[in-house]
Amino acid sequence: MEFSLSVVKIVCLLLAGFTLVPRYSCASDCGNIPNISYPFCLQNDLEYCGDSQFQLFCEKNQTTIELLSKKYFVESIIYDDYSIRIVDPGIFGDNCSYIPHYFSTNSLWGYTPFYLNSFISVVFLNCSVLVNNSLYKATASCRNTSNKDASYSYVLLGSLSVGDLHKGCYVADDTYIDFTGDYESQNLSYSTIRGLLEDGITLNWSPEASRSSCSLPFHSSHCFRNLLSAIARGYFLLGRTILGVLCFSAFLIYKLRSRHLAMDHKIEEFLSEYKNHMPKRYSYWELFRMTNRFKEKLGQGGFGSVYKGKLPNDTPVAVKMLGKCKGNGQDFVNEVATIGRIHHMHVVQLTGFCAEGSKRALIYEFMPNGSLDKFLSSQIGDNDRLSWKKLHEIALGIARGIEYLHRGCSMKILHFDIKPHNILLDENLVPKVSDFGLAKFYPIEESIVSLTAVRGTIGYIAPELFYRRVGNISYKSDVYSYGMLLMEMAGRRKNILDQHANSSSQIYFPSWIYDQLTLGDLGLGEDVAEDEKDTFKRLVIVALWCIQMKPVDRPSMSRVVEMLEGSAEHLEMPRKPFLASPDRWGHVDDQASELGALNSFEQPSSESILSPR
C-alpha cells in the first residue's frame, strides 16, 4: 500500500513538472524558410522537436522534404493554414524543356501526412498524329520526346476522360497544379501552365498533427505521454511474444502458407515499384461497404466472383474478387499493371484495386449489358438478337481496342485470351476488352515473344501456342483469337453453328463457311437486305484471314480495322483454313490434327482455361 502511494506521488510530481515548465524552443531556419516549428523539424534537430513524418532537410541553404521516396523543394510553410507549398526539382532549368521529375496520382498522397486540397490535373500526352483540338496544348517548342513513334507532344488540363483521348495518342505522364478558377474559359497557354508548375502545389496537413501533447523532453521521448505509450507498446510486444511461444504449434501451419506469403510479398513489391502509375487502392473494409456486404452478385467464373458496387460518389462499379491465385499472383499483378495505365474507349477502365493479405480485388467501371457471349447464346430470343449493323460496330470496336493494346501504349500488350466472355458491353453496347489476367508485356520493337506455358481458352488459342513449327508466338496470336471470335459472331447471328453442328459431330465451321462463300451461297435467306449480306460476308472474310494457320499470313490489327471499315467486294478471299484442308498444305502430323479437334466449335467451353486464372 505504501509502495503504491509512493508511485502515485512520483507520477503526480512528473505530470505537474511537465505542465509548469515552459516549452522548450526548437525553432530552426534554413534558406527562405524561417522559424521551422512543430510538427516540422530539420534532420539534425532533437527528436522531440517535431514529428518524424514532417522531417525537413537543409541542403545548400535550400529546404527540402522527402515524400514518397522523392525530394521536393519547400517554398513556404503557413502554420495558420496548415499548408506547405512544394515544387518538383525537375521544373527548374535553363529552358522550358525541363519537365517534372515525379508524377503521381492524388490517391498516393494518402500514404503521407498531407493531402491535396485545390488542384487541377496536368496530363502529358505523346501523339503520332497532329491533333487539332483546343483542349490539347502543344509543347513541341518546349518538350522533346525520345519515343520515335510520338511526333507530337501535348498537355491537357483536367481529368482525362475516354472521349478526350485522341486516336494515336497515349498518356506519358501526369501531375498537378494549384488552380481555383475556370481553366476551360481562360484557355491557358502552355507557357502559363509552365509558370503554374514552377509555382508548385500546396499540401495541407491535419491540425491534430500540430498539437504537441507536452512541453519538455524526457530522455529519448519528447514528452511523458510518449513514454507511457512506449511502455504500453513494450507490454504489447511482450504479450505478443508470449502468445507466440504458447502457439508454437501454429508455426507449422504458417510454414505451409509460405508460398502465399511469398506471393503477397511479390505483389507488394510490384505495387510499390509502380505505385505512381497505379489506380486508387482500397481496403477490404471499404470493399465490404462499397458492395453492401457483397449483396448483389453479377457473375461467377474460374477467377472468382464479380459483385456490383457503388463508389462514395454513387458511381456504379463492378468488384472482381479474385479467388485462389496461382503463379505468384501473376494474374492479379498483370491486370492491375495493364488496365491501370490504359485509357481507351474500347478497353475497360480500372478504377481501383485491393491487395490486403489474401484478399485481392479489382474494381472497374460497371458494364450494364454484361459480356458479349450473352448476346451470342443460342438461347437468346429474336427481339434481343443483335442486328448486323450493331454486330459490325461491336467487331470494329473490339478490333480498335486490341490494336491499341498492340501499338498505342509505351509497351506492347498481348492479351492472349480474346473471347466473347472477355468482351464487355456498356449501356450503348459499346464493346470494351477486359480480363488481362493472362496478358504479357513486351517492348514495341520486339516482334517475337517467349512463353513457358500455353495460355488462353480452348477454341480461341492460336496454333503456334500448341505447335511451335507453325511459327513464332507474337501479337498475331491475338489476331487468331479475334478471328475465331468474329467467326462465332457471324455464325451465331443466324444460328448457323447450331444448324450444322447437328448434321456432323466433326463439323469445322470455318471450313464449311469457306466452301459456302466460294459457291456464292451465304445461307442467309432472301429476306436479308444487301447491306446485311455485305456485313456478314465482310465479317467472315476478315475472320478467315485472321485464322490462317501461319502467323505470317494473318493481318495486323491495324489492317483488320481497315478491312472492316471497307466493303466486302474489295476484300480478297484468303486460302482455305489449314486445319480443314490437309491435302492443300501437305503433310499434317498428329499434333496438328489434334489442334484441329481443339479448335472445333463443337468442343469449346468459355470457362476452360489452360493457364492459371
DSSP for 448-464, written as a single string: ----SS--SBTTT--HH
| Contact yes or no for 49/38 (Cβ under 8 A) | yes
Does residue 417 have an active-site annotation? yes
| Contact yes or no for 56/40 (Cβ under 8 A) | yes
What is the CATH code for 373-598? Answer: 1.10.510.10
pLDDT (tens digit, 9 = 90+) per residue, 330-370? 667 767 777 787 889 999 988 888 888 778 898 989 999 99
Average pLDDT on 125-132 reads: 87
- Beta bridge pairs of residue 137: 155
Q: In this structure, is the dihedral angle defined by the CA atoms of residues 493, 497, 498 and 503, taken in order, positive or negative?
A: positive
DSSP string across 49-81: GS-GGGEEEEETTEEEEEETTEEEEEEEEETTT
Superfamily of domain 261-365: Phosphorylase Kinase; domain 1 (3.30.200.20)
For residue 171, what is the enclosing H or E element?
strand 169-177
Instruction: Provide the grid cell at 244.
Output: 507466440
**577 vs 17, residue with greater confidence:** 577
Q: Give the pLDDT band of residue 317 (cuts 50, 70, 90).
A: very high
Amino acid sitting at position 167: K
| Contact yes or no for 574/548 (Cβ under 8 A) | yes
pLDDT in the model for residue 197 = 83
Q: Where are the domains of the chain?
A: 98-201, 261-365, 373-598
DSSP string across 465-489: HH-GGG---STHHHHHHHHHHHHHH
CB burial string 326-354: b at 16+ within 10 A, e below: eebbbbbbbbbbbbbbbbbbbbbbbbbbb
Cα–Cα distance between 37 and 49 in angstroms, integer? Answer: 8
pLDDT in the model for residue 234 = 79
- For 28, half-sphere exposure in the C-beta direction (CA atoms, 13 angstrom radius) is 19
Burial class (CB in 10 A: 0-12, 13-18, 19+), 139: buried
Query: Which of 174, 264, 417, 478 does the annotation list as catalytic?
Result: 417
The residue among 76, 69, 39, 40 whose CA lies nearest residue 57 is 40
320 is in an annotated binding site: yes
| Contact yes or no for 90/101 (Cβ under 8 A) | yes
**156 vs 96, residue with greater confidence:** 156
| Contact yes or no for 99/173 (Cβ under 8 A) | yes
pLDDT (tens digit, 9 = 90+) per residue, 559-569? 999 999 988 77
SS (H, E, C) 590-613: HHHHHHHHHCCCCCCCCCCECCCC
pLDDT in the model for residue 275 = 62
The residue among 142, 240, 251 whose CA lies nearest residue 197 is 142
Contacts of 300 (CB under 8 A, 6+ apart): 306
- Whether 600 shows a pLDDT value over 50: the answer reads no
Strongest mean pLDDT among 164-168, 290-294, 324-328, 487-491: 290-294
Distances (CA, A) of 612 to 15, 330, 439, 451, 455: 62, 9, 12, 14, 8
Q: Give the pLDDT band of residue 93 (cuts 50, 70, 90).
A: low
The residue among 530, 532, 540, 535 whose CA lies nearest residue 566 is 535
For residue 2, what is the enclosing H or E element?
helix 2-20
Contacts of 20 (CB under 8 A, 6+ apart): none
- For 126, half-sphere exposure in the C-beta direction (CA atoms, 13 angstrom radius) is 15
- Ranking 56-65, 391-400, 452-461 by mean pLDDT, the lowest is 452-461
Cα–Cα distance between 467 and 471 in angstroms, integer? Answer: 8
Cα–Cα distance between 323 and 360 in angstroms, integer? Answer: 8
Distances (CA, A) of 57 to 31, 35, 71, 150, 231: 11, 14, 9, 39, 31
